[in-house]
Amino acid sequence: MALTKQEKLDKKAERAYYRKHKPHVKLTGADIVFYVFDYLVFGLFAIICFFPFYYLFINTVSDSEMVARGAVNFYPIGFTLKHYKDMLALGDLGRAFIVTISRTVIGTALMVMASAFCGYLMTKNEMWNKKFWYRFLVITMYFNAGLIPGYTNMLMLGLTDNYLGYIIPAIVQPFNIILVKTYIESIPAELEESAFIDGASYMMIFRKLILPLSKPILATIAIFGAVGHWNSFMDSVINMQNSPKLQTLQHKLYIWLNQSSNIGAVIDTGRSASEIEKIVNQLNSGTVIKYTIAMVTVLPILLVYPWMQKYFEKGIMLGAVKG
């Protein structure tokens, strides 16, 4: 419910009043110890959760030699955007970007439309054998044929090494359909009935009435869907083995990260000093590039998440109600 202007002003005044006339609670010694401890623990945990991202960031904007010397720990040294430019020069990365962004946008849009429409249809008890078909959909959440049968199925459908392999299997998400269905059921049925009496068809009602009214839930599933697509990694690893052009950003990052550990293994096995130096040099510039790729991959989530947090929370609550 949106608040009117007057209500907003009232609330503001109320809050100001409470701030002024805060009840003075006397803190005992034990309370103080508890609060200090509590704030400290949570503050520390929050830092542990966030510092790695910050560390990654300052390393990507610092001079690579400084990074290699381990000097960059709390603030950037020798600020530069060179690494981001270098990264753009890595040809296949741009492609991976396009693949990942496009699959996120297209896949999410299709998933949301499908969930909305299918969720709406599943509220209609007059559908032929509705109960059976609803169960047919929902039960798929609880079993999984397994990795290899799933893979051979994709092979059979010709969706391996195929861009559509990212999109089509992710269109129907039973869990999201349940969420939408539950939400639509909470909309007063009278609205729909009156539209029916006015002669609207199902499609019309869906477009003009249900779709606008269920925006909040659609936003929630859209965000979850988008994060899922953006982060999705195993489908690229399993289904796109033979087509590097179709691999996602996450997959590329994985490949890059793994290259380093190979180099690390090479060093372990004893080589001539000059060879090791060459490899180490390679590693030095490579590390920053790796950080940069990781930073670019994580950035959209870091930027979007804080503003969308309420939708995320709503999502988990709805999921808990109808898990």
Partner 1 sequence: MAKNIEVSNGPTDKIYYVTRISLLFAFVLVFFSEINPARIMTQMNKNMSLLTTALSYDRIVVNIKYEINHNYIFKSDIYSLMAASAIMVAGILILAVAACISLGNLRMKRISNYVTLGGSAAVIFGVYRMIVTHRLYRAIDAEISEIVGFKMATEKLPTALFLMLGFAIIEFLCAVILMIAQPRPARDEKCEMSTRYKLFIMALPFLGLTFIFSYLPLYGWRYAFFDYKAGPGTLSMNDFVGFKWFKLLVDNAMMRSDIIRVMKNTLIMSGLGLATSWVAMAFAIFLSEIKNGVFRRIVQVLTTIPNFISWVLVYAIAFAIFSNEGFVNNMLTRITGVVHDHIYLTDESMLYVKMLLWGMWKGVGWSAIIYIAGISGIDQQLYEAATVDGAGRFQKMWHVTLPGLIPTYSVMLLMAVAGILSNGMDQYLVFSNAKTKSALEVLDLYVYTLGIGSGKIPLSTVIGMLKTLVSVTLLFMANGISKLVRGESII
Output the smallest distance, CB 17 to partner 1, in A: 17
Q: Which of 3, 27, 40, 46 binds partner 1 (CB under 8 A)?
A: 46
Site for partner 1 in 83-112 (CB under 8 A): none
Among 101, 161, 263, 266, binds partner 1 (CB under 8 A): 161
C-alpha 6: how far from chain center:
38
Q: Are 120 and 184 in contact (CB under 8 A)?
A: yes
Q: For partner 1, how many residues bind (rule: CB under 8 A)?
A: 102
Most distant pair of Cα atoms in the chain: their distance: 86
Of 50, 74, 240, nearest in space to 154 by CA: 240
Tokens, residue 279: 């490899």
Site for partner 1 in 107-136 (CB under 8 A): 114, 117-118, 121-122, 124, 126-130, 133, 136
Angle at 132 between CA 129 and CA 138, to 5 degrees: 135
The window from 5-13, 86-94, 154-162, 270-278 that contacts partner 1 (CB under 8 A) reads 154-162
Residue 104 buriedness (CB in 10 A; 0-12 / 13-18 / 19+): buried
Tell me if 73 contacts partner 1 by CB under 8 A: yes
Q: How far is CA 8 from CA 54, 85, 306, in A?
A: 37, 47, 24
Binding part of the chain for partner 1, among 83-91, 100-108, 257-265, 269-277 by CB under 8 A, reads 257-265
Q: Which stretch binds partner 1 (CB under 8 A): 1-9, 76-84, 100-108, 224-232?
A: 224-232
DSSP string, 146-162: -HHHHHHHHHHHT-TTS
The candidate with the shortest Cα–Cα distance to 66, out of 288, 312, 299, is 288
Residue 99: CB minimum distance to partner 1, A: 15
Alpha-carbon Rg for the chain in angstroms: 26
Give the C-alpha separation, 321 to 234, whole Å.
29
Question: Binders of partner 1 among 227-256, rule CB under 8 A?
Answer: 227, 230-234, 237-238, 241, 250-251, 253-254
Please, which of residues 48-67 interact with partner 1 by CB under 8 A?
A: 48-50, 52-53, 55-56, 59, 67
Helix (H, G, I), strand (E, B) or coil at 283: helix
Contact 85, 146 (CB under 8 A): no
- Shortest distance, CB of residue 98 to partner 1, whole angstroms? 18
Q: Residue from 90, 101, 171, 187 that binds partner 1 (CB under 8 A)? A: 171
Q: Name which of residues 11 to 40 contact partner 1 (CB under 8 A).
A: 31, 34-35, 38-39
- Tell me the per-residue interface mask from 286 to 315 with partner 1, x by CB under 8 A, - otherwise: -x--xx-xx--xx--xx--xx--x--xx--
C-beta of 4 vs 70, nearer to partner 1: 70
State in angstroms the smallest separation of the CB of 42 from partner 1: 5
